[in-house]
Structure 1
Amino acid sequence: MIAPDRPYPRPTAQVEPYFEVLGLTDTLRFIEEFGGTEIYIAKNPRTRSSVVALLGFDKANALTSISHRLQPRVPLAKKWRACAYKAQGLATVEIARKLGVTDVAVRNWLKVGEVQNHAQRKSTPLPPLPLFPDL
């Protein structure tokens, strides 16, 4: 999951709109606060808004410009967040506590992320498999 040209993991399709507008740190904060819940992004955010309180007016306003790309329910993105927290230097047990999962689950997710990262860095593609292998 971690792309070779940047220290943070590539966001999933559900997380990408948030990531484009908010960046890594604020996307993580937003998902921590609202993940798994339905959220309404107001066209004209007010200062009393919980989104404004968390992100500030400018970023809350920026979310309105992409609200058509957002799902009604904020994704939890636990696997992606585990890789992002690891890229920030958090220990496995800290990640597990933040996500409310076991350290075993986090280790498995990180292992899969490392394998995907390694596969992305390979410069030579694998040869195609034959359509009709010899029997």
Structure 2
Amino acid sequence: MIRVPAQLAPYIDVLGLDLGIEFLLKFGGSYIHLSEKPQGRSDVTTLIGPEQTVALAKRIGSGSFRVHTGKPFIARHFQAKGWTTNAIARHLHVTDVTVRSWLKPPDDRQLVLL
């Protein structure tokens, strides 16, 4: 299991891993608006449904904000599923060099902060 970064945890906790990644791929890097009383007209509600929109709004807070891209986390998830570096790069619209930098093991001289 890949460790979920703190900034992405609300999305993954509420939506689950697969839908959370789909959400990040669709909305990452852009502004969205969350409401605890969705009207059903938003792209967010169309993707995740009204119940999960409300749950996400309660967890993150209502209002407009920019969604994290989460690409390094998504790349590690795809690698764990057996994807090649090139396939990940094409899917995330980045270079293979960028993907390799995301996937390289952490420097063992650096302390791990929990």
The bucket for the TM-score relative to the shorter chain is: 0.7 to 0.9
Bigger Rg over Cα: 1
Higher relative contact order (CA 8 A, sep 6+): 1
Would the alpha carbon gap of residues 33 and 74 (structure 1) be closer, same or farther in structure 2, given more than 3 Å must change? same
Whether the aligned pair in 2 keeps the contact of 1:14 and 1:71 (CA below 8 Å) is no
SS at match of 1:98: helix
Normalising by structure 1, report the TM-score.
0.70
Structure 1 unaligned segments of length 5 or more: list them. 1-6, 121-135
Whether the aligned pair in 2 keeps the contact of 1:39 and 1:72 (CA below 8 Å) is yes
The question of 1:104 aligning with 2:94 is answered no
**Amino acid in structure 1 at the alignment position of 2:61:** H
Whether the aligned pair in 2 keeps the contact of 1:51 and 1:60 (CA below 8 Å) is yes
Q: 1:66 aligns with which of 59, 68, 76?
A: 59
User: Which residue of 2 is the match for residue 82 of structure 1?
Assistant: 75
**Larger fraction in strand:** 2
Q: d(CA) in 2 for partners of 1:36 and 1:87?
A: 24
Q: 1:41 aligns with which of 30, 34, 51?
A: 34
Give the CA deviation at 1:13.
Answer: 1.6
Write out aligned runs for 1:10-29 (5 A).
10-29=3-22
Percent identity for Structure 1 against Structure 2: 38
Would the alpha carbon gap of residues 93 and 50 (structure 1) be closer, same or farther in structure 2, given more than 3 Å must change? same
Structure 2 unaligned segments of length 5 or more: list them. none
